[in-house]
Structure 1
Amino acid sequence: MDYRVLKENDLFILTDKDGNIPNKDRTEKGLYYQDTRFLSMYQLELEGIDLILLSSRSEQNYLGTVRLTNAETRSGNEIVLWRESLGVHRKRFIYNGVFYEKITFENYNNFPLTVRPKLRFGADYNHMFAVRGYLEGRRGVLQAPAVTNDGLILGYEGSDGISRQTVIQVEPSPKSASEQGTLSLEVHVRPESTASVNVVICPVIANQVPERVTFEQALDALEASYGEWRQASTKAFSDSELFNKVYERSLLDMRALLTDLGEGRFPVAGIPWYAVPFGRDSLIAAIQLLSVNPDIAKGTLKTLAKYQGREVNAWRDEQPGKILHELRFGEPANNHDIPHTPYYGTIDATPLFLVLAAEYYRWTGDIELMRELLSHLKAGISWINQYGDRDQDGFVEYCQESGKGIANQGWKDSADSIVHKNGELARAPIALAEVQGYVYDAKTKLADVMNDLEEHELAAQLRQEAAALKQAFAERFWLEEEQFVTVALDGDKNKVESVTSNPGHCLWSCLLTKEQEEKVVKRLLAPDMFSGYGIRTMSTTSTRYNPMSYHDGSIWPHDNSLIMLGMKQLGYAREAMEVVEALLEAASHFEYHRLPELFCGYDREEEPYPVDYPVACSPQAWAAGTVFVMLQTMLGIQPDVPRGLVRFSPSLPPSINRLKVTDISVGQGTLDVLLLKDEEGEVTVKMLKNETGLQVMI
């Protein structure tokens, strides 16, 4: 990973490994707030001294550290400063909408040093889409930097009538400041001692200035919030150091990805490019988090319900009851140059919203939230049956309407992801296999919720519709030649014959017949689909297979997580553990033991390590959530709080023999359990604590 990133709520900074935002025309690095780049340059230089990078870490996610030292400095033939006798330590974080950095100069000489740092700043106020080359919209006017007693104010008057500023404060106060955005300082460092410079950077929109506290106060508060996150979440510890590291990394990553827009915390999709509400990604990540912190599901449901579609609007691919795909902010959103206000071009977010609601109810028994969301749940069901199934053939399909929308509107949303055996791209409207599974799952599980809400007629309707869908799917989506499920039906109702991972999600949804599920499980673990590091998105035998592609042969951890969960709940425990083991092995090769958004699909026998995908988000929410699904799969936990039950069906992969899991939040209490594997490989569950009042069934 050639960058370093820090995020807290809706502010994040993306720098190079030196901690700088370089002054380059095409750099994507910057300080971003609400989709706008409030710093496009931030560079530390020392007058007369060249700096060398020693280390650069953001392992804790909320705290970044960079260590640099000096190259040898000469004046003619005389050595003025021995190499590596000056240390520069940059320590930074974000708290409450403010970026804080302490730059400490460490003098290892026996004489005093005067260092003259220069801090160079610039802000272009480009929107994220413009930075990435997706958009050329209307622009406002950049303001010349204004010099203050302790720093600078950079400014921009937007074409949307909103002023934006970057307020920069430095302590001790600069010796001088230029209207080109450079602050010059003079720092005296005693022999074998240290001296520091504090930098505080505040993005300001419409004169709403965030509250500033001291560096130490902000760091203490930030560390306390991470401690609270750990305390409120499930703890897992095994005899596998690798699993423990992956779990801890994912817990930190998911905390960093949480954002609150006023309805409770929910996960954004990923850093750096998708740090915004994302219907499908946020919903799947919240589903993955149910075994670790179900409260995040509540914030996710309430946030997405707030933005649920209300009208037919082709520009935004919106219809009543539809759940958003993506919500963007900033100048082009305010000017309606982009449809992401929100944009609704996703076929799967609405059924996944319903699935999350039903699953959250099973984990918590929170009937009050179900009552609060009832109108939203009904609207989602209506959208599926009316707008989702536009030709009333019983299947939900998508078709792009917005001129600036997305053509493929499932999770594989690249232009070449849905392709026929002969290499031709499928023509819309397209009915994806996994989407039919989400719809089936939603209707099946919501029937129980509706009964508990005294909506008995609707519950009966949902069960009937689910049964009809299962029968029709078995008949229309089966590929006899491949003995597998087709990825989709195209606009002419022809099967899209490529063999892909999409039908694996139907295992999780329990949509397949027993005969079909056995064949799908077997094929997913066959050499053409299983690389040894995970299940590929497309078979090596398919026409468009490419291990370096985004969706046609790569490996996505979240894709594997839903497949393994489906395998386990249908009784294919050995196969599920094989996928768990492969993903853990893959994670061991990535920085910080962090599973990325995706990686290339090369075979493990061909490459002794998983090959990076060049522009994968890292951290990314549903990649981070994969290890939580591993935990859920190993526990085989299936709560049904409204019925007073919680079931366990334990299994462990070959690399784990002992797994202790504590503070599993179910209903109104928590559970502690211990999984042990004996010499014969049998796994047992020992109940260490049950404060839920629920009946436990093994």
Structure 2
Amino acid sequence: MTQPQNAENIAEPPPAVPGAATVTLIDGTTFCVCAPAGDIVPGGNLGLYFRDTRVLSRWELTLDGRPVQTLSVQPVESYAARFIARRTSADGSDDNSVLLVRERLVGNGLRETISIQNLAPETTPVVLTIRADADFAELFGIDGKQPATHEPGPATVADGTLLIRHRGEASRGLSLTTDTEPEITADGLTWQIQVPPRSTWTTEITAIPIVDDKPVEPRFQRGEPISDTATARALHSWRENSTFLAADDPRLATTLSRTRTDLGALRIDDRVHGGTGAFVAAGAPWFMTLFGRDSLLTSWMALPLDPDLALGTLQALAAVQGRRVDAFTEEEPGRIMHELRLGAHSTAIGGQRYYGSVDATPLFVMLLAEAWRWGADETAIRALLPAADAALQWLRDYGDRDGDGFVEYQRTSERGLPHQGWKDIDGSINNARGEPGQTPIAVVEVQGYAYAALLARAELATAFGDETTASSCRERAATLRQRFNEQYWLPDRGWYAVALDSRKQPMDALASNPGHCLWSGIVDDEHAEQLIAHLGSPEMDSGFGLRTLATTMGAYNPVSYHNGSVWPHDTALCVAGLMRYAHVPGAVETAHRLADGLLDAAAAFGGRLPELFCGFPREQLTPPVRYPAGCTPQAWASGAPLLLVRAFLGLDPHIPEGRLTLTPCLPPRWGTVHLDSLRLGPARLQLSATGDTAEVHGTPADWTVEIRPRQVAA
């Protein structure tokens, strides 16, 4: 097993846009990463991937033995694109007589329609060749930084099909077929074509993975228009069923539109794999799978867009919840999984599952109660209560390693992640001097998550008539909050320690992590004002969002992964926390400023918030500087604008009680925000808000709707 991967140690290509260095197409657990011409060149991380295995490691097209000249890449959808090129001449001069169009889509395989258009007034001979190989490399055996060492599998030709087998497992492979009759050899396909004047010749090729000696069922048919494929129909249905969001502010409107598109692309329908619903994957292309922390936080953020994602995520994670102790995978009873991999061996994470996360477990319980408040099916919620109880038991028996009441982490295998909060790489948790902490470490935000999880379970227990459990959880929460504010607060600094180290000494760096504690509600009011002042200071506010670490800290570096960069999801969670403490001086002003800065950053990135970007001061570098690696799109970055909208709307539904509360306090630049077809339980609502006013239409007659001003400090 190699170390579980994150965006720090895998090169992530940009999205499918004209002129991009690479193009990425995704559909669930199938994705294709290729060059702008559409080629997959051996030796790096390009390829067609299916369930975390590369099933095409070479897919190179030539006309008359020469590469084509790329003219344009046209994105069609997240799962389809067109590559437009022209033939190159033997002497290097421009050749405008032959146009090549490759229309590609993915979905449990790949389908490519190749059209060769003769623009000349006379018949043109063309030799079209596609070289194809498959190395069946596991995803995390490929890092894109050095040539791949996997050998292509053996290939055979039979009945018009090129069949490439896995070198070590004959039951796995890839079949290549076409609707025309090329010459087929072990290394590819060749057509000798005579294209009449002003005419077009076309062929369609399909590449279908083989698992257990059976071809996978593709999500497309031969000759089927892209708009009619199973993938297109599913995405269209989701868009029709999800909330439509609009805003007067063009930055916000564009960003919300991109959010809706990207979260739709990142959805994985777990029913395809025997599950019960849909969940959101962590990011494209390398993390198109279920992640504990990422999927939970994103589905929380996405509640105003699609509340079904929350229940689907909870059910998927409950199905793989820890049952035993395994030091290799870090599985423990009740622990919520960190990462699921679908490859046949998944050697990178010790099998298919890796559990090294300290925060996914309390986040699971928090989301369960939140999904219930938003109207999730009560029977489904009740069925998940044992998983929630097992999660809370894990917090006590395994999460609290020394019995002091706080939740710590320490990996049980050298192959595991060194840090198991959301800042999960070496050096990401340190003191003010920049010295890294030694594990076991109790990071500050996780104590807030644990507090909120206990209150969430108490609320569910009360609703379902279990006052014994409710009382126990509330007592544990009260004790935790008191001890937290005693142990983590640094009176000489005016902020909370980012963590307690292995000696239970406070690590005094000023970081964004305590902002999450505002979101969870564990912060005492007497400390909140000082904390908020520091979060809003120039040392933390980059002008484009909240830095992960203050500029005055020893480890600060604006180009680092966690020590001075800006993560949109981190800023959004802190903004939500600030609005929770709107009654504290400075909270709302800081929240508005951070949100506006983040939307300015989104506008600079074309409406799509990246996973992270560099934390240089706005007055020094504008527009913001992109971080050199990161998922595109990335789930919780895509969900961040939705959390901003919800936080400023004060949108607080409690569908089991038939109650909806709104306390709007929108930033002035936003103008009016509209939510159309907002789904809350059985109802579909229309909501609009401007400043501190709002209107709601479509609520059932027996609901109580309260729209009131937010209590804001003078």
Aligning the two structures, in what range does the TM-score lie when normalised by the shorter sequence? over 0.9
Q: Aligned letter for 1:580?
A: A
Match of 1:168 among 167, 170, 176: 176
Does the 8 A contact of 1:130 with 1:136 survive in 2? Answer: no
Q: Does 1:61 align with 2:78?
A: yes
Match of 2:625 among 611, 630, 650: 611
Q: Does 1:406 align with 2:417?
A: yes
Shift in alpha-carbon separation, 1:148–1:108, aligned structure 2, 3 A:
same
Q: Does 1:569 align with 2:580?
A: yes
Q: Which moved more, 1:11-20 or 1:86-95?
A: 86-95
- Partners of 1:11 and 1:294 lie apart in 2 by 24
**Paired position in structure 2 for 1:90:** 102
Q: Aligned letter for 2:401?
A: R
The correspondence of residues 81-120 of structure 1 with structure 2, limited to 5 A, is 83-95=95-107, 97-120=108-131
- Partners of 2:431 and 2:592 lie apart in 1 by 32
Does the 8 A contact of 1:596 with 1:623 survive in 2? Answer: yes
Does the 8 A contact of 1:670 with 1:691 survive in 2? Answer: no
**Paired position in structure 1 for 2:156:** 146
SS in 2 for 1:346: coil
Q: Aligned letter for 1:435?
A: V
**Paired position in structure 1 for 2:134:** 123
Q: Does 1:191 align with 2:197?
A: yes
Match of 1:503 among 501, 514, 526: 514
Does the 8 A contact of 1:577 with 1:651 survive in 2? Answer: no
Does the 8 A contact of 1:667 with 1:692 survive in 2? Answer: no
Gaps of 5+ in 1: 677-681
Q: Aligned letter for 1:616?
A: G
Partner deviation per Cα, 1:202-228 (whole Å, 9 max, x = no partner): 111112312352242564133222211
The correspondence of residues 141-290 of structure 1 with structure 2, limited to 5 A, is 143-158=153-168, 163-174=171-182, 176-179=183-186, 181-212=187-218, 213-216=221-224, 219-221=227-229, 222-259=231-268, 260=270, 261-263=273-275, 264-290=277-303
Shift, 1:668, TM fit: 1.4
- Partners of 1:552 and 1:337 lie apart in 2 by 26
**Paired position in structure 2 for 1:588:** 603
Q: Aligned letter for 2:307?
A: P
Match of 1:397 among 408, 418, 423: 408
TM-score, length of structure 1 as denominator length: 0.93
**Paired position in structure 2 for 1:461:** 472
- Partners of 2:471 and 2:428 lie apart in 1 by 36
SS in 1 for 2:604: coil
SS in 1 for 2:705: strand
- Partners of 1:340 and 1:164 lie apart in 2 by 18
Does the 8 A contact of 2:433 with 2:553 survive in 1? Answer: no
SS in 2 for 1:639: strand
- Partners of 2:384 and 2:170 lie apart in 1 by 34
Q: Does 1:600 align with 2:614?
A: yes
Shift, 1:143, TM fit: 3.8
Q: Does 1:452 align with 2:463?
A: yes
Shift in alpha-carbon separation, 1:692–1:496, aligned structure 2, 3 A:
farther
The correspondence of residues 5-20 of structure 1 with structure 2, limited to 5 A, is 5-20=24-39
SS in 1 for 2:204: strand
Shift, 1:358, TM fit: 0.8
Q: Aligned letter for 1:585?
A: D
* RMSD over aligned Cα atoms: 2.3
Q: Which moved more, 1:312-321 or 1:204-213?
A: 204-213
SS in 1 for 2:73: strand
Does the 8 A contact of 2:133 with 2:153 survive in 1? Answer: no
Q: Does 1:305 align with 2:318?
A: yes
- Partners of 1:107 and 1:142 lie apart in 2 by 35
The correspondence of residues 43-54 of structure 1 with structure 2, limited to 5 A, is 43-47=60-64, 50-54=67-71
Does the 8 A contact of 1:398 with 1:428 survive in 2? Answer: yes
Shift, 1:151, TM fit: 3.9
Partner deviation per Cα, 1:144-191 (whole Å, 9 max, x = no partner): 211234341111143xx57321111123221x1222x12111344333
- Partners of 2:394 and 2:79 lie apart in 1 by 40
Shift, 1:593, TM fit: 2.2
Shift in alpha-carbon separation, 1:481–1:65, aligned structure 2, 3 A:
farther
Match of 1:696 among 705, 708, 712: 705
Q: Aligned letter for 1:12?
A: F
Q: Aligned letter for 1:65?
A: R
Shift, 1:484, TM fit: 0.8
Does the 8 A contact of 1:669 with 1:693 survive in 2? Answer: no
Shift in alpha-carbon separation, 1:291–1:170, aligned structure 2, 3 A:
same
- Partners of 2:112 and 2:147 lie apart in 1 by 33
**Paired position in structure 1 for 2:3:** none
SS in 1 for 2:345: helix
Shift, 1:519, TM fit: 2.0
Does the 8 A contact of 1:670 with 1:692 survive in 2? Answer: no
SS in 1 for 2:340: coil
Shift in alpha-carbon separation, 1:693–1:205, aligned structure 2, 3 A:
farther
**Paired position in structure 2 for 1:664:** 678
Does the 8 A contact of 2:564 with 2:615 survive in 1? Answer: yes
Q: Aligned letter for 1:178?
A: T
Partner deviation per Cα, 1:554-582 (whole Å, 9 max, x = no partner): 11111111111111232233332222211
**Paired position in structure 1 for 2:53:** 36
TM-score, length of structure 2 as denominator length: 0.91
- Partners of 1:133 and 1:51 lie apart in 2 by 24
Shift in alpha-carbon separation, 1:238–1:124, aligned structure 2, 3 A:
same
- Partners of 1:452 and 1:461 lie apart in 2 by 15
- Partners of 1:431 and 1:134 lie apart in 2 by 34
Does the 8 A contact of 1:46 with 1:118 survive in 2? Answer: yes
Does the 8 A contact of 2:45 with 2:144 survive in 1? Answer: no
- Partners of 1:318 and 1:612 lie apart in 2 by 36
SS in 2 for 1:314: coil
**Paired position in structure 2 for 1:578:** 593
SS in 1 for 2:215: coil
Shift, 1:347, TM fit: 0.3
Partner deviation per Cα, 1:310-345 (whole Å, 9 max, x = no partner): 011111111100000111232433xx6742431111
Q: Which moved more, 1:419-428 or 1:65-74?
A: 65-74
Q: Aligned letter for 1:581?
A: D
Identity of aligned residues (%): 35
**Paired position in structure 1 for 2:11:** none
Q: Aligned letter for 1:199?
A: I
**Paired position in structure 2 for 1:679:** none
Q: Aligned letter for 1:495?
A: P
Shift, 1:536, TM fit: 0.7
- Partners of 2:321 and 2:152 lie apart in 1 by 36
Shift, 1:140, TM fit: 9.8
- Partners of 1:199 and 1:694 lie apart in 2 by 55
Partner deviation per Cα, 1:423-449 (whole Å, 9 max, x = no partner): 321011110110011111111122110
Shift, 1:60, TM fit: 2.8
Q: Which moved more, 1:285-294 or 1:633-642?
A: 633-642
Shift in alpha-carbon separation, 1:511–1:692, aligned structure 2, 3 A:
farther
Shift, 1:669, TM fit: 0.8
- Partners of 1:52 and 1:371 lie apart in 2 by 59
Shift in alpha-carbon separation, 1:594–1:480, aligned structure 2, 3 A:
same
SS in 1 for 2:516: helix
The correspondence of residues 297-696 of structure 1 with structure 2, limited to 5 A, is 297-333=310-346, 338-571=349-582, 572-590=587-605, 592-676=606-690, 682-691=691-700, 693-696=702-705
SS in 2 for 1:185: strand
- Partners of 2:255 and 2:546 lie apart in 1 by 19
